[in-house]
Structure 1
Amino acid sequence: MSTSLLSVKDLRVSFKGDSGWSPVVHDISFNIEAGKTVAIVGESGSGKSVTSLALMRLLQAGASRIEGEIRFDGKVLNQLPEAGMRALRGNEIAMIFQEPMTSLNPSLTIGFQLAEVLMTHRGMTRAQAEAEAVRLMERVRIPSAASRVKDYPHRLSGGMRQRVMIAMALACKPKLLIADEPTTALDVTIQAQILDLIRELQREEGMSVLFITHDMGVVAEIADETIVMLHGRIVEQGLTEEVFGKPEHPYTRALLSAVPKLGSMSGEPIPKKFEEIDRTTGLPIAKPDEAAAAQPDPAQKAVLEVVNLRKYFDIHTGIFRRVSGRVHAVENVSFDIRPGETLALVGESGCGKSTTGRAIMRLSDPTGGEIRLNGENILKLDDNGFRPHRRSMQLIFQDPFASLNPSMKVGDAIAEPMIAHGIMSGKAARERVSELLHQVGLDPSAAERFPHEFSGGQRQRIAIARALSLRPKLIVADEAVSALDVSIKAQVINLMLDLQKELGLAFLFISHDMAVVERVSHRVAVMYLGEIVEIGNRADIFGNPQHPYTKRLLSAVPVPDPARRLSRPELQVSELKSPVRPAGYVAPHKTMRQISAGHFVQEWGAEWAA
């Protein structure tokens, strides 16, 4: 007879407000056996992250109340003194948090923060801890780990910061790993490898996992048991195969039907809207099957043309800070986007897709190439000359918490671009803010609150509302929906498609979610180590991929079907190459071969033979 490592019985969590105690988690119970994985899924605000914080006793004392019993390895956690909990946290129980930028200390290097965990809980010397930190970073596939340990968090991409958090959580080989959206910021290949890593540690160490996610494909891939939460209550729980195969609750059925599935767009000529779920009832919303967007007119002039774009970052060493090398983040990238068209840019974290988006917005100065907006090369304009063009192009950032001013009310943050460009002010601006908040699924009263008062998904909707405020012609959406649960993701993408249809918006859609990319894009460009290795119409990329890297990306996409877990082909894992080059390095010319109309693939060498 197996015994549970973690047993939660009648857990209730309440928060103190002006009118007294408000319950947010209601009498939930579940067990996790040693070596098993239990997944909690549900809407943003359903109580799943609050549950995990209650288990770790990380909720603010005095403002929160935890009732019921939390038993871990024979200890009742909610009766332990704080010193006892400190000994468990990070050692026997580790947690991967949802937003790595708020979990990592911005003033300390990555290596120091990893080493600190090892010295505190495993008694290592400084030298031992630093060596182990490099090994851990290599294990989660951070390239050039020996040099990146000296980097600060802000110098890493969102996906790389999440990998650092995973390395930190796994450092002490915990008995229980609580993973709160651990793969949200990761592309599919890294996600697949992290899931494999967690499974490997389970086999080696007998580690248990509480996995909190909104990605049903990941749940099907990793979970032995699944718990579905809605409004702070468990509405369904059981073996993953049973929950997916024979869902009983209407919300579970709606949740599964709203999940984007790779291959679902076969034969569809244009992007298609997602099914939506009513967040109050948890039931699907009946919508007419209308075309989401028209096919862009090929005769129309491109709103954006990128020609041989390059972006290098200098590496300085020595006392005189000489340039000893360069990171070739973007290498000879070319593409165009027409009005009403969505071009998706996909690839691994660190491949240069976000750097490309920032260079297009002139948030970082490109090393070379041309960026033409409505036919004009904006790289030749000074700040005053470029200012009018900023209204035509807007960026939705990857990390909403880092992009919103924590001391500014969200209504002021949304109104700021309109006021700065002299479009409107006063009452008109406030009315426009209310309209935008309503469009992205938030109550207009949210304008009076601060960013920290919202969940991660809600903050991303605020960032989208701000980007829409100037009615731009081009939107660069950098992982704009990666942090959203399926119902809000559907609402936001449907909104973006409606705006595209109505206003002829062009989108550069940067994403690692291949199922979403297949649903919303007209064309797809695949990036690897700063270069586009394949570009073409969506049907060609997903139906007839040519480059080995494109095939690897598609094979790594988790399928929301537990029955296919064991039949899935093993992912071919290769070391992620470093984009660092010597200071005088000149990239060789790469040939693009045409496969069909609009479908081009880069010629590849022996490094892809296998």
Structure 2
Amino acid sequence: MTDTGTASSPSLDTPGNGEPVLSVRDLKTAFRTGTGWTQIVKGISFDIGARETLAVVGESGSGKSVTALSIMRLLSPETSRIEGSVRLGGRELLTLPEAQMRMVRGGKIGMVFQEAMTSLNPLASVGDQIAEALSIHGRFTGAAAEAEAVRMLERVRIPAAKARARNLPHNLSGGMRQRVMIAMALACKPQLLIADEPTTALDVTIQAQILQLIKELQREEGMGVLFITHDMGVVAEIADRTVVMLGGEVVEQGQTEDIFAAAQSPYTKTLIAAVPRLGSMTGKGQPEHFPVVDRKTGVLRPAESRPDTVDHAGQPVLSVRNLVKRFDLTSGLFGAVHGRVHAVENVSFDLQAGETLSLVGESGCGKSTTGRAIMRLIEPQGGAISIDGTDILALDKARMRDMRRHIQMIFQDPFASLNPRIRVGEAIAEPYLTHKLGTRQEARAVVADLLERVGMDPQVANRYPQQFSGGQRQRICIARALSLSPKVIVADESVSGLDVSIKAQVVNLLLDLQQAFGLSYLFISHDMAVVERMSHRVAVMYLGEIVELGPSAAVFKNPQHPYTKRLISAVPIPDPSRRAQVRKVANDEVRSPIRPADYVPPQRSYREVSPGHVVQEWEGDWKM
């Protein structure tokens, strides 16, 4: 294979010993608004050396992603203004002509974005997209570029890379697409890799794979890495040094070990305290609040264990038996069924009053489909669902609408759940008025009370959803779910899209509301550390089936099924001293739940490990 590229500009070659790969000084970025210029990044400075990872950490709106886009000069010059100095290998980038800057992007600096699907061309195969990047930067052409694209896919541990190179992006899983983005970013052997929240939307096992992959490739290539995240757990896993941003400014920076050991800023302490840590609870086996730091004083309020108020002997408020949901796959002129997605297969569990049962597993395991089937937002093919002894599958639409007073749902994306044209007070009051529980005047009083209960000022009832942050919008959705005084709330990934400290606040709020109202939660999540803190019991799902079910403490301290062990072992460890250790991370992808049309699921058997703790039997050496 011949490299057909031309020699690089000397000023952009890999820097010599001791010289930083990237040097940022007094970087300022402003955006044009209707009233003038608004400063977003307010004079930040840092260096990144070869084989060094610098994490820029902060919550949404802190300016960390704008910092990365400013370095890459990807902001429109008509609506933005960048000042300061950004030097790559000693060469100033902010004054570089655009034609030369285009060659720096992808050639000298690679970038991996948060959502791979929006960054990849949906109409071109992933191999062609990598080959195109190689051709543009003059490294390879024609068949050589195609062969190098396959080699890059192999380097990022994509199995059957030659065949996968012909796939369109939508044919690949989220983890696979993110690997393709990394392969494309590294194709031209950049000096610097900028990774902007590359694991936020991924399942915990896929996140572990991507973090380990970036570390391995960094060691092999000798590149610097700028890693942008809001999760201090990920920072501990990957970063040599850390910059903490708040409101466009640096509030703290230093060696990652020093920051975790003795953070100085109250804001940094808040981020560290909010990191979910497996095994960090008091050991009472009950749901427990996250520890919270007062941002002004820096004082830590320790975690509080909840008393167990669950009546395990009483009639369950929700009972699910042998639930089945399959989706037909059709083809041909007459829509013949050629296969089925076995999304939920023979799922059974009970939920007691005042209890939290968590359904956990990776994307595609069937946990969200289970929640939607229980709500009858989709109709199951088989099984039984009862609320307080009433079989809801036997109810007509009118009676089911009445039954929904007792079971409500909180979705993952609060913005998509709220009508942007309706004030939040009206959105909260709507279910109350629809079910004719009171007058409009009474509804206003209920709205004010609920907003206070979820920690918001009742005066905000007149605002629109777009005037709130993500965490505030989720509180509004919780208030709306409570407006009917339900017995059960199905929370479907309701905190997964939130910043880590906001996530801690919302989890604490859910625990407080459960104690105040005696609520039962079916908590659907892939975040094992949050699940441990929220749950009385845990059900682990894989390929539409429950493979392990038991009390939270039993499942986390004594996991039995290989898949449960895999999920727990993949959780980031918020201990920077362990960063140099190479974690064994399986690169398997979750198998497809698609089966032939004539497929008959096997009969499963379970064994009881301890009281209430059961695990599905498996044969031989279990694999994904």
Contact 2:127 2:165 in 1 (8 A): no
Q: Which of residues 504, 508, 511 in structure 2 aligns to 1:497?
A: 511
> What do residues 53-108 of structure 1 show as CA deviations (whole Å, max 9, x unaligned)?
3334445655543322223355544334556555555665454444668x469xx8
Structure 1 residues 21 and 444, CA gap change in structure 2 (3 angstroms): farther
- Identical residues among aligned pairs (%): 56
| 1:46 counterpart residue number | 62
Structure 1 residues 139 and 37, CA gap change in structure 2 (3 angstroms): same
Structure 1 residues 79 and 436, CA gap change in structure 2 (3 angstroms): farther
> What secondary structure sits across from 2:186 in the alignment?
coil
> What do residues 304-343 of structure 1 show as CA deviations (whole Å, max 9, x unaligned)?
1111112222222345442211121211111111111011
- Indicate whether 1:389 and 2:403 are aligned: yes
| 2:291 counterpart residue number | 275
Q: Using the alignment, how far apart are the partners of 1:401 and 1:95 within structure 2?
A: 28
> What do residues 255-289 of structure 1 show as CA deviations (whole Å, max 9, x unaligned)?
3233332112252132111122335x3724647x7
Q: How does 1:551-570 map to 2 (within 5 A)?
A: 551-567=565-581, 569-570=583-584
Aligned residues: 598
Contact 2:156 2:179 in 1 (8 A): no
Q: Using the alignment, how far apart are the partners of 1:58 and 1:469 within structure 2?
A: 45
For residue 435 of structure 1, report the CA deviation from its aligned partner. Answer: 5.2
For residue 598 of structure 1, report the CA deviation from its aligned partner. Answer: 0.5
- Indicate whether 1:511 and 2:525 are aligned: yes
Deviates more, 1:566-575 or 1:39-48: 566-575
- Indicate whether 1:67 and 2:92 are aligned: no
Structure 2 counterpart of 1:65, which letter?
Answer: R
Show structure 2 runs of 5+ residues with no match: 1-16, 136-140
CA RMSD of aligned residues (A): 3.8
Q: Using the alignment, how far apart are the partners of 2:94 and 2:447 within structure 1?
A: 43
Q: Using the alignment, how far apart are the partners of 1:240 and 1:465 within structure 2?
A: 38
- Indicate whether 1:310 and 2:324 are aligned: yes
Contact 1:45 1:455 in 2 (8 A): no
> What secondary structure sits across from 1:219 in the alignment?
helix
Contact 1:57 1:78 in 2 (8 A): yes
| 2:186 counterpart residue number | 173
For residue 501 of structure 1, report the CA deviation from its aligned partner. Answer: 0.5
Q: Using the alignment, how far apart are the partners of 2:491 and 2:536 within structure 1?
A: 15
Structure 1 residues 167 and 420, CA gap change in structure 2 (3 angstroms): farther
Structure 1 residues 360 and 163, CA gap change in structure 2 (3 angstroms): farther
Structure 1 residues 180 and 465, CA gap change in structure 2 (3 angstroms): farther
Contact 1:137 1:167 in 2 (8 A): no
Q: Using the alignment, how far apart are the partners of 1:137 and 1:307 within structure 2?
A: 45
Q: How does 1:329-478 map to 2 (within 5 A)?
A: 329-405=343-419, 410-423=424-437, 429=443, 432-433=446-447, 436-437=450-451, 439-440=453-454, 456-478=470-492
Q: Using the alignment, how far apart are the partners of 1:265 and 1:347 within structure 2?
A: 22
Q: Which of residues 28, 35, 41 in structure 2 aligns to 1:25?
A: 41
Q: Using the alignment, how far apart are the partners of 2:64 and 2:169 within structure 1?
A: 33
Structure 2 counterpart of 1:500, which letter?
Answer: Q
Q: How does 1:43-442 map to 2 (within 5 A)?
A: 43-59=59-75, 61-80=77-96, 88-89=104-105, 92-98=108-114, 103=118, 109=122, 112=124, 114=126, 117-118=129-130, 120-123=132-135, 139=157, 160-161=173-174, 164-165=177-178, 167-173=180-186, 175=190, 176-265=192-281, 267-279=283-295, 281=296, 283-284=298-299, 286=301, 291-405=305-419, 410-423=424-437, 429=443, 432-433=446-447, 436-437=450-451, 439-440=453-454
Q: Using the alignment, how far apart are the partners of 1:91 and 1:454 within structure 2?
A: 39
Structure 2 counterpart of 1:381, which letter?
Answer: L
Structure 2 counterpart of 1:164, which letter?
Answer: R
Q: Using the alignment, how far apart are the partners of 2:158 and 2:299 within structure 1?
A: 38
Structure 1 residues 104 and 469, CA gap change in structure 2 (3 angstroms): farther
User: What TM-score do the two structures reach when normalised by structure 1?
Assistant: 0.86
Q: Which of residues 31, 34, 43 in structure 1 aligns to 2:50?
A: 34
Structure 1 residues 447 and 197, CA gap change in structure 2 (3 angstroms): farther
> What do residues 437-465 of structure 1 show as CA deviations (whole Å, max 9, x unaligned)?
55545566765665556555454444444
| 1:6 counterpart residue number | 22
Structure 1 residues 42 and 135, CA gap change in structure 2 (3 angstroms): closer
Q: Which of residues 524, 536, 539 in structure 2 aligns to 1:525?
A: 539
User: What TM-score do the two structures reach when normalised by structure 2?
Assistant: 0.84
> What secondary structure sits across from 1:79 in the alignment?
coil
Q: Using the alignment, how far apart are the partners of 2:385 and 2:538 within structure 1?
A: 19
Structure 1 residues 227 and 428, CA gap change in structure 2 (3 angstroms): farther
Show structure 1 runs of 5+ residues with no match: none
Structure 1 residues 301 and 125, CA gap change in structure 2 (3 angstroms): farther
Deviates more, 1:556-565 or 1:447-456: 447-456
Q: Using the alignment, how far apart are the partners of 2:476 and 2:116 within structure 1?
A: 19
Structure 2 counterpart of 1:8, which letter?
Answer: V
Q: Using the alignment, how far apart are the partners of 2:432 and 2:104 within structure 1?
A: 49
Structure 1 residues 364 and 87, CA gap change in structure 2 (3 angstroms): farther
> What secondary structure sits across from 2:21 in the alignment?
strand
For residue 140 of structure 1, report the CA deviation from its aligned partner. Answer: 6.4
Structure 1 residues 290 and 453, CA gap change in structure 2 (3 angstroms): closer
Deviates more, 1:303-312 or 1:561-570: 561-570
Q: Using the alignment, how far apart are the partners of 1:521 and 1:89 within structure 2?
A: 46
Q: How does 1:526-605 map to 2 (within 5 A)?
A: 526-567=540-581, 569-605=583-619
Contact 1:293 1:497 in 2 (8 A): no
Structure 2 counterpart of 1:10, which letter?
Answer: D
Structure 1 residues 30 and 285, CA gap change in structure 2 (3 angstroms): same
Structure 1 residues 400 and 540, CA gap change in structure 2 (3 angstroms): same
For residue 380 of structure 1, report the CA deviation from its aligned partner. Answer: 2.4
Q: Using the alignment, how far apart are the partners of 2:152 and 2:600 within structure 1?
A: 30
Structure 1 residues 120 and 464, CA gap change in structure 2 (3 angstroms): farther
Q: Using the alignment, how far apart are the partners of 2:98 and 2:398 within structure 1?
A: 56
> What secondary structure sits across from 1:595 in the alignment?
strand
Contact 2:266 2:293 in 1 (8 A): no
Structure 2 counterpart of 1:197, which letter?
Answer: L
Structure 1 residues 219 and 336, CA gap change in structure 2 (3 angstroms): same
> What do residues 162-195 of structure 1 show as CA deviations (whole Å, max 9, x unaligned)?
7535533542426343333322232221111111
Deviates more, 1:198-207 or 1:496-505: 198-207
> What do residues 112-164 of structure 1 show as CA deviations (whole Å, max 9, x unaligned)?
484674365234889959x9699589956899x969956869xx9xxx54753
Q: Using the alignment, how far apart are the partners of 2:245 and 2:324 within structure 1?
A: 46
> What do residues 509-553 of structure 1 show as CA deviations (whole Å, max 9, x unaligned)?
112222221111100111112111110001111111111221222
> What do residues 457-501 of structure 1 show as CA deviations (whole Å, max 9, x unaligned)?
454444444433433221111222222233222211111011101
> What secondary structure sits across from 2:271 in the alignment?
helix
> What secondary structure sits across from 1:4 in the alignment?
coil
Structure 1 residues 186 and 78, CA gap change in structure 2 (3 angstroms): same
Structure 1 counterpart of 2:562, which letter?
Answer: P
Q: Using the alignment, how far apart are the partners of 1:408 and 1:76 within structure 2?
A: 49
Q: Using the alignment, how far apart are the partners of 1:306 and 1:594 within structure 2?
A: 19
